[in-house]
Structure 1
Amino acid sequence: MIPGFTQSFVQCGDVQLSVHRAGQGTPLILLHGYPENHHCWAQVTPAFTADFDVIVPDLRGYGDSDAPTDDATHVTYSKRQMAADIVALMDALGIAKAHILGHDRGGRVAYRFALDHPDRLHRLGIIEIVPTGDFWTNWNADLAMKAYHWTFLAQPAPLPERMIGADPAAYIDWTLASWTLSQSLKPFSDAALASYRAQAQDPAHLHAMCADYRAGATIDKALDEADRAAGRRINAPLHFLWAEGGFPAKTGNPAALWAPWAETMTDGSCKSGHFTMEENPKAVIDNFLPFFSAH
């Protein structure tokens, strides 16, 4: 559990989500990425709970949330479905509108939420991603080597599940360390590491994490392309934080990739690898506390 937070389980449509909550004020929903869960926010939440009602769900397929079996078209783990889970969570908690801050896969859920449910959003924060369609379009040899998991995890079941399942904890440790600036596990707490390893050791959650990327290579990409063709944009103010040693930096100019998607956008960068909340929590706080407080 995140220190100072209360955990509950909330039925959100066809899945039950594990939810951690603390603080008071305007609701702020924090969405984690792969291969993490709610633990990734533990170092930044103390700065937000004084002014915000901070809500930290585990996405479907992660942490203590349900991990349903994927379907042939990968709708089950599409970011549209995951965003709908967050709408259902807000409905269950009696929340009309909220701020949303997402990292990695949670960032993809967050911007899909902004496009599909603009009336439920105050402000949008994105950490360490560019839009899915743009990421695929900017694929090159350097990016493919760094982000190999985009194609590996998206392979048909059960290939990646069986390969990772041979030694899940070692795979998670290698993935986490190799995406940090220090190339080590030092940024991660013992509790977080134990939780990240445990979810990969569960066959249902391991399958779900692979399904997340199968959706990214198919339906999520198609939804982005359709929105781009239709000229749809994010209406809520957007602030984007990218790491100098992360994945978006490999695209050349990550802020420029976000600009066509948002009516109002600001951005910042920081010294970090991909796991910014754990590697450089001060940068996350310095970027997003003023941004959300300005509402």
Structure 2
Amino acid sequence: MFEGFAEQYVDVGEVHLWVRHGGTGPAVVLLHGHPRTHTTWHRVAPLLASTGHTVVCPDLRGYGRSSKPAVRADHAQASKRAMATDVLGLMRALGHERFAVVGHDRGSYVATRLALDSPRAVTHLVVLDSVPILEALERTDAAFATAWWHWFFFAQPGKPERAILADPDAWYGGDPAVMGQENYADYRAAIHDPATVVAMLEDYRAGLGVDRAADEADRAAGRRITCPTLVLWSSRDDLEDLHPDVLGVWTPWTTQLTGGRINSGHHVAEEAPDELASRINAFLAG
């Protein structure tokens, strides 16, 4: 995995992030979702590096091998703003003042927050399989609550940890034949670590509170994402079923928007790496 990439811990202030990085050229940072780690990008990162990009793949705070900050009453230690600040510090520590950011699933919320909070740093934004947190919550209906019930279960105190840690493999699943053996091993180590499971749940708890409030403040102030933005969603996942007009949901949040379907299930970086890398490359070259 990640042949030719360096791997290290980087001190970004409040936390240390575990990161792999390699390639040369304009920088792009790839942000994983729940419950994956940075290794979910192991098929995409080399493709982007081979086409002239410096590619940076961190474990987000709380995930994988990165630091797990102490839990706060308001869950702000797991906010997307805190995670975005980490990524900004990471990229600066690696010598990149401006860079593109790609986020999948929970990582897409970090990427979005980074583009909103640090517009001078982010050159391009790619979000995969998501709409903004505030939009998802405000549009919640029976279909969304049934399909994405885990958002609300994970927000409960104590009980989700007990349920997941009773049998992490049964809870999360995962197939090494699909994911790749090394990626699966990294992911499985994470989901069996109680501290990581708690931190991943804190991500969701922050989502319903401080992250929603941050989105509300942006909308009230009229702030929008000013860099070119590409929104992609998996054709064999449920995002378009729940939000038939995905681009319409994103339009009020962006100024330069394109997007569409990609032929994949939810874990697109593992299931359709060639198509995903091709779409990202074309977007960054535009």
1:240-279 Cα deviation digits (max 9, x unpaired): 1111222421222111111111110000202222111112
Whichever residue aligns with residue 244 of structure 2, its letter is: G
The answer on 1:6 being equivalent to 2:6 is yes
Whichever residue aligns with residue 166 of structure 2, its letter is: A
Q: Secondary structure at the match of 1:49?
A: helix
Partners of 2:170 and 2:265 lie apart in 1 by 20
Work out whether residues 29 and 98 of structure 1, in 8 Å CA contact, stay in contact via their aligned partners in 2.
yes
Partner of 2:164: 164
Work out whether residues 30 and 57 of structure 1, in 8 Å CA contact, stay in contact via their aligned partners in 2.
yes
Would you say how many aligned residue pairs link Structure 1 and Structure 2?
284
Partner of 1:215: 206
Partners of 1:244 and 1:138 lie apart in 2 by 21
Partners of 1:283 and 1:138 lie apart in 2 by 30
Shift of 1:69: 2.2
Taking the TM superposition and a 5 Å limit, the aligned residue runs for 1:126-205 are 126-156=127-157, 158-173=158-173, 176=174, 186-205=177-196
Partners of 2:119 and 2:27 lie apart in 1 by 15
Whichever residue aligns with residue 100 of structure 2, its letter is: H
Q: Secondary structure at the match of 2:179?
A: coil
Q: Secondary structure at the match of 1:55?
A: strand
Shift of 1:28: 0.7
Distance 1:206 1:124, change over 3 A: same
1:18-54 Cα deviation digits (max 9, x unpaired): 0101100011111101000111111112221021010
The answer on 1:239 being equivalent to 2:230 is yes
Q: Which 10-residue stretch deviates more, 207-216 or 264-273?
A: 264-273
Partners of 1:223 and 1:248 lie apart in 2 by 23
* TM-score of the superposed pair, with normalisation by structure 2: 0.95
Q: Which of 212, 221, 225 lines up with 2:216 in the alignment?
A: 225
Partner of 2:122: 121
Work out whether residues 187 and 278 of structure 1, in 8 Å CA contact, stay in contact via their aligned partners in 2.
yes
Distance 1:260 1:135, change over 3 A: same
Q: Secondary structure at the match of 1:126?
A: strand
Partners of 1:139 and 1:2 lie apart in 2 by 39
Shift of 1:186: 4.8
Partner of 1:29: 29
* Identical aligned residues as a percent: 40
Partner of 2:86: 85
Shift of 1:141: 1.9
1:161-200 Cα deviation digits (max 9, x unpaired): 1111111122121xx5xxxxxxx77531122222222111
Shift of 1:72: 0.5
Work out whether residues 73 and 219 of structure 1, in 8 Å CA contact, stay in contact via their aligned partners in 2.
yes
Partner of 1:44: 44
